[in-house]
A and B are shown apart, each in its own frame.
Chain A
Amino acid sequence: MVNAVGRELPEKVGSYVVKPYTGIHKEAQTSAPVCSRRRPDPSPRRQSKRMPDLKAAILASGLKDGMTISFHHSFREGDKIVGQVLTAISELGIKGLCFAPSAVVNIKNPSIVDFVKDGTINRIQASGIRGELGDAVLQDLKLAEPVILRPHGARPHAIETGALSIDVAFIGASSADEMGNCTGQTGPNSCGALGYSFIDAVMAEKVVVITDNIVPYPCVPISIAQNYVDFVVQVDEIGDPDKIGAGAARLTKNPRDLLIAQRAADAIAASRLFKDDYSFQTGAGAISIACTNFLAQHTKEAGIQASFALGGMTANIVEMFDEGLVRTILCSQSFDAVAARAFSKSPQIIEIDNSMYSNMYNKSCVLDRLNFGVLGALEVDVDFNINILTGSNGEMMSGIGGGPDVADGADISIVTLPVIRGRTPSIVNRVFTCCTPGTSVAMVVTEAGIALNPAHKNYQMLKEDLSAAGLKLVTIEYLRDLAYSLTGIPKPIETTDEVVCIVEYRDGTVIDVIRRIKTDKIE
């Protein structure tokens, strides 16, 4: 069958029944109650939940073959929790687990691929499987079921509907007390917001908090509260602070990226929605960080204040807050050390649940009030569909993240990317993997001009505003032709028929699948 973005989908992949994407806001909501696995404590009135080590906690959690385990990705590439837990599980001989973190970042030591090969893991669900694991999945790694990739907003929805049912959630925290109150905001390995694990804490059957910094009761602040936590384990080290995010991310000096960032900020400032109390989400890529700086300048020049900045936080958004350019920060993830430690500055900097941030099936989510969302992409096609997963060599380059949620939720979604990267065109006829439907994308901003999407709900307004500001408007076809004139048209990536990843949209339908990449490897 073919879905609403023209993707050929099988009706069933393994045990997964494919529900095709039919268009934005076309999927009917379920009215069934949410499916929490949480249970009353079988051993109430405990005075400490500390366990001597990870293995003891794993055994006490009742983890068995075939169950589902979860983690958050807030320690990014500095994460040492996933590796330690999987090693302990593997040594206990537990097999055939479904590994369901909020995202897999490129963790190399130990390699997650090895836990698939030794049978500890045989299924994966996440927002992304960037790096070695993703490349292996696309090429030759065998799993029992295809990987399910979901945007940030779809994960809590999948947990609430029972599509993703977590048996044991392992939650890394940079500080915790012996009853399980914990946070990522303090301690030597602080990662900031724990927004991605709130839903796991509330919904999983068992919750294990892992820290390297036990603090006197009660832990302050409390990000995840003791009433959701079963066990607490202290380990030597939960992360590598240099890789978690040391200091503030540096502002790019790449003139191309600066030009794109400036254009994106100029487009925001040209919009009639750029007024007192506007709201924005810019993100953490090189272009995004530069865009935040240009947006700060525009905000200052206009003499206005943003009502809130949303999502992943960076040092320069905190700087905007310090300068009074933004009134509130609603932070689900902290991208650098400055952002990670900013919460104590003011009650106006708030750690929020990822579900509150992005889950469209909540009673409401913040994203659906957002004015401006700036996104990155690997590829955009002439229908404005976005690929943020697979690179030109058939590698897993990134995760879906919250891009599809932001594109749909924001009044104006802005995709920033260069026309070409190296010898690869970024604006193409058809993206290899569709992660975000083009109809939710308002504009694509490149170094060669801004392409507005005629199919977007705010096209007419944007056309008027950006034209009046004298910004360089081009068509998406012009950008594609320019890209192809510089690089030529690349040979298509060859795949087999085997589906290795299912890509879900924010409403839980299937927007695309990724088939196994044909490689030149000699068997």
Chain B
Amino acid sequence: MAQIHLKRTSLYVSGASPINMVQAAFYNEDCLVYDLEDSVPISEKDAARLLVYHTVRYHRPADKYVIIRVNGLYSEFIDEDLEAAVRARPNAIRLPKVEHPDEVRRIADQISRIEKDAGIPDGTIELWCNIESYLGLINAYEIATADPRVVAMALGAEDFTASMKARRTKDGLEIFYARNALLTACRRAGVDAIDAVFSDINDIEGLKEDTLLARNLGFDGKTCVHPRQIDVVNAFFTPSAKEIRQALRILEAVEEGKRQKKGAVTLDGSMIDKPIELRALTTLAQARAAGIPIEGGPNHG
């Protein structure tokens, strides 16, 4: 059975800020993104790369899905970033501003080579692709399926709106299409969809409205830029009692199917395939993460 990694919240922390890196491990985010890109000044790139490498390699938070965001795919830093990031052994590397599936394939090849050199099993490190332009959005499905390492795509709203000559607003109508288009591509490719950041860290009510919309559209989680956003966002990705009951029923049917050595399992007349089973496991993991006691059901996640 695949291990379930919750992706309700992913918190960016700058690789140039040691104290924030230490503290970030203590908040309730599911995914911790050590950033080498936008939050790190040009003069600090080398130091940040070393610091992030040592932090992830030797002080990795035990209960987090750990991600390193590298610099731009055409920047002078990308090769050294990948060398350090892969060898640090995070769960995933987050690629900024992906626009074409060839870019993913090039990076995936590079990661494979470094994994081999470092003695890491091939394919260990996953990829998250940030979609931050109209071109990336148009190619989203091809990007998501360019390599099996890709497990999630995230919308970068600020750069996306800039590429569209749109204006960024709080209600986010200008990214409504992009959110749906990205979600559609993610669902078709079977990868997770991560919503854009809500930039105003002082507007908790605005964050709630924005997260409610994202959850209702179908996103699996949201990127956070400040720790105070985490609990607010997590709360929206807590499943309802009805959803938990349904997830338990699905997993019971799967278990029953296994006991009876059935190839295909159905519930209420519908076939339960692998994605449905994974979604049910994720629902239970989300419930457990929210402190909801689950009676019965397999203890995954």
B228 and A448 contacting across the interface, CB-CB below 8 Å: no
A255 and B23 contacting across the interface, CB-CB below 8 Å: yes
Q: Give a binary string over A254-287; 1 marks a CB under 8 Å from any B CB, 0 the rest.
A: 0110110000000000000000000000000000
> Within the assembled complex, what's the spacing in Å between the Cα atoms of A419 and B19?
12
> Within the assembled complex, what's the spacing in Å between the Cα atoms of A259 and B227?
9
Partner of B228, one of A258, A420, A422: A258
A259 and B59 contacting across the interface, CB-CB below 8 Å: no
Q: Kindly state whether residue B45 has any CB partner on chain A within 8 Å.
A: no
- Using known A-B contacts A485-B59, A486-B59, determine if residue A256 contacts B23 with beta carbons closer than 8 Å: yes
A255 and B291 contacting across the interface, CB-CB below 8 Å: no
B95-143 residues with Cβ-Cβ distance < 8 A to A are none
Partner of B26, one of A253, A422, A447: A447
Q: Tell me, rounded to whole Å, the shortest Cβ–Cβ distance linking B67 to chain A.
A: 19
> Within the assembled complex, what's the spacing in Å between the Cα atoms of A473 and B203?
31
A255 and B227 contacting across the interface, CB-CB below 8 Å: yes
- Using known A-B contacts A422-B19, A470-B291, A486-B59, determine if residue A256 contacts B26 with beta carbons closer than 8 Å: yes
List the A side residues contacting B293 at CB < 8 Å. Answer: 470
List the B side residues contacting A419 at CB < 8 Å. Answer: 26
Q: Which residue of A lies closest to B231 (CB)?
A: A262
Q: Kindly state whether residue B226 has any CB partner on chain A within 8 Å.
A: yes
> Within the assembled complex, what's the spacing in Å between the Cα atoms of A447 and B59?
17
List the B side residues contacting A256 at CB < 8 Å. Answer: 23, 26, 227
> Within the assembled complex, what's the spacing in Å between the Cα atoms of A258 and B22?
16
> Within the assembled complex, what's the spacing in Å between the Cα atoms of A420 and B21?
13
**Range for the number of chain A residues in contact with chain B:** 10 to 19
Q: Tell me, rounded to whole Å, the shortest Cβ–Cβ distance linking A450 to chain B.
A: 13
Q: Tell me, rounded to whole Å, the shortest Cβ–Cβ distance linking B234 to chain A.
A: 13
**Range for the number of chain B residues in contact with chain A:** 10 to 19
List the B side residues contacting A470 at CB < 8 Å. Answer: 291, 293
Q: Which residue of A lies closest to B28 (CB)?
A: A259
> Within the assembled complex, what's the spacing in Å between the Cα atoms of A485 and B226?
25
> Within the assembled complex, what's the spacing in Å between the Cα atoms of A258 and B291?
20
Q: Tell me, rounded to whole Å, the shortest Cβ–Cβ distance linking A259 to chain B.
A: 7
Q: Which residue of B lies closest to A260 (CB)?
A: B26
> Within the assembled complex, what's the spacing in Å between the Cα atoms of A256 and B24?
9
Q: Give a binary string over A397-430; 1 marks a CB under 8 Å from any B CB, 0 the rest.
A: 0000000000000000000000110100000000
Q: Kindly state whether residue B27 has any CB partner on chain A within 8 Å.
A: yes
> Within the assembled complex, what's the spacing in Å between the Cα atoms of A255 and B229?
10
B291 and A448 contacting across the interface, CB-CB below 8 Å: no
> Within the assembled complex, what's the spacing in Å between the Cα atoms of A78 and B184?
63
List the A side residues contacting B291 at CB < 8 Å. Answer: 470
B59 and A255 contacting across the interface, CB-CB below 8 Å: no
Q: Which residue of A lies closest to B226 (CB)?
A: A255
> Within the assembled complex, what's the spacing in Å between the Cα atoms of A470 and B291?
6
A486 and B228 contacting across the interface, CB-CB below 8 Å: no
> Within the assembled complex, what's the spacing in Å between the Cα atoms of A180 and B148?
84
B226 and A420 contacting across the interface, CB-CB below 8 Å: no
Q: Which residue of A lies closest to B22 (CB)?
A: A486
A447 and B228 contacting across the interface, CB-CB below 8 Å: no
Q: Tell me, rounded to whole Å, the shortest Cβ–Cβ distance linking B24 to chain A.
A: 9
List the A side residues contacting B22 at CB < 8 Å. Answer: 420, 486
List the A side residues contacting B226 at CB < 8 Å. Answer: 255
> Within the assembled complex, what's the spacing in Å between the Cα atoms of A224 and B22?
50
List the B side residues contacting A485 at CB < 8 Å. Answer: 59
Q: Give a binary string over B11-51; 1 marks a CB under 8 Å from any A CB, 0 the rest.
A: 00000000100110011000000000000000000000000
Q: Which residue of B lies closest to A256 (CB)?
A: B23
Which residue, A253, A255, A448, A470, has most C-beta atoms of chain B within 10 A? A255
A447 and B23 contacting across the interface, CB-CB below 8 Å: yes
Given contacts A255-B228, A447-B27, 12 further A-B contacts (CB under 8 A): A253-B228, A255-B23, A255-B27, A255-B226, A256-B23, A256-B227, A259-B26, A420-B22, A447-B23, A447-B26, A470-B293, A486-B22
Q: List 14 A-B contacts (CB under 8 A).
A: A253-B228, A255-B23, A255-B228, A256-B227, A259-B27, A419-B26, A420-B22, A422-B19, A447-B23, A447-B26, A447-B27, A448-B26, A470-B293, A486-B59
The 8 A-B residue pairs with the shortest CB-CB distance in the complex, in nearest-first order: A255-B227, A447-B26, A470-B291, A256-B23, A448-B26, A255-B228, A486-B22, A259-B27
